[in-house]
Chain A
């Protein structure tokens, strides 16, 4: 199975900061990667699919990049609504896996 490792596990940042989260796959997954945002007690929300495609309605301050085994999610200017947990997910095959999540908290 493909393992997904996110770093950091927790990130402290301030409103307006540029934030970058990394996700590494244990083997190449081409561009078959999605990013989700989740707030406490709520369902995940799709932000990005195919590594860099923004889902409908997602603010342009979110961006994704990477291919193969290394991927990044960047928030260009952190907003109050962005404090949440972010998870990557690979869908290279029919057996999907998530990263362990990165919590973005207020500094």
Chain B
């Protein structure tokens, strides 16, 4: 079964750090771009970051540039999001998602994890 399972969420004070993990199974993880997407309480979806199969390309939404770092370990079939200098507005459910790409064309985000909740509050 193709599956993504996030972990690492929790309550953190403003200015603090947290590292999210996403464990992939059931597919060849190293063949896919991967993404992080978040959803603040009662709000819409917000794309956070993308990473290429080999980690050589990374892209971020402006609001997290310089604070968040996406990375992956293909040997461990795992995706990560290191979040530093956290702010109240980073409070959200964070999802990891698989991004199929065929013939240099993306095809949306076709597999999602169940999400992990990050709450930034004092």
Contacts and interface: CB of A to CB of B under 8 A. Distances in A.
Contacts of A71: none
Given A1-B62, A43-B113, A95-B59, A36 B45 contact: yes
A91 B45 contact: no
A50 B107 contact: yes
Nearest to B46: A98
B75 interface: no
Q: Which of B44, B46, B47, B61 has the most CB of A within 10 A?
A: B44
A99 B50 contact: no
Contact of A49 (B50, B61, B107, B112): B107
A89 B62 contact: no
Contact of A46 (B44, B95, B108): B108
A95 to B, nearest CB: 6
Contacts of A87: 44-45
Given A44-B112, A49-B108, A55-B108, A89 B47 contact: yes
Interface string B54-65: 000101011000
Interface string A56-96: 00000000000000000000000000000001010100111
Interface string B32-51: 00010100000011110010
A103 to B, nearest CB: 10
B110 interface: yes
B112 A89 contact: no
Given A36-B45, A98-B44, 4 more contacts: A34-B107, A43-B112, A44-B45, A49-B110
Pairs A-B, 7 closest by C-beta atoms? A34-B108, A49-B108, A43-B112, A96-B47, A94-B59, A98-B45, A49-B107
15 contacts: A1-B62, A34-B109, A36-B109, A38-B45, A43-B95, A44-B109, A44-B112, A45-B112, A49-B107, A94-B50, A94-B57, A95-B62, A96-B50, A98-B47, A100-B44
